[in-house]
Amino acid sequence: MPRLRRYRRPDRRRNRVRRPPPQEGFLVRDLARLAGVSVPTIKRYVRHGLLAPVPFYGTATRYPHDYLTRVLALRYWRAQGNKTLAELRRRLDEVTITEMEQWVTSHPLPTETAAALRRERESAPRAESAANAPSAPEALLELPAESWQRWMLMPGLELQLKSDAAPITRQLAARLCRAFASFVSA
């Protein structure tokens, strides 16, 4: 009698395309150390929408450089008395990243944090020449990730605003939210 072979399910994990983790940005532990908060605090900010989620690469997950500015601002605002996440989200929505950078750098910072912010500012605006520009498929892979803020109007309905939106756009979005809130409560 022939021996029966056991069925072995094909391993699908081996066929997935693996992308290398990003090299730019901060590891979560470095971001937490530089900002003076704990790692769970960073993760809570992401979970509650104060920071946009980033692609997950396990322990190699990196957070963009502007997150340091945002976390520092959130930390200082919490120290000033803005205790709820809703208050912090409202405050983030009212301020542009440039205003936040100016505000954060005007306060005393630890040496290592100030150096990281300086490196961030120096490396941010670099224009590439057309000769050094990558080919079309490579250019698509190197597009910077956009960051959006979600404003929950009610369950199932939200307003999305690009984080680098102009102040007038932020003001308009805030007016829309207030108008919607008064409409729903009426």
pLDDT digits (tens, 9 = 90+) for 52-70: 888 888 888 888 888 888 9
Crossing angle (nearest 10°) for helices 85-94 and 167-185: 140
pLDDT (0 to 100) of residue 124? 59
pLDDT digits (tens, 9 = 90+) for 81-97: 777 888 888 888 888 88
Residue 129 has pLDDT above 50, yes or no: no
Share of the chain above pLDDT 90, in %: 3
Sign of CA dihedral 102, 148, 47, 174: positive
Enter the CATH code of domain 21-121: 1.10.1660.10
Q: Where are the domains of the chain?
A: 21-121, 147-186
For 106, phi then psi, to 5°, come to -80, -10
Can you give the pTM of this predicted structure?
Answer: 0.56
Sign of CA dihedral 167, 168, 170, 171: positive
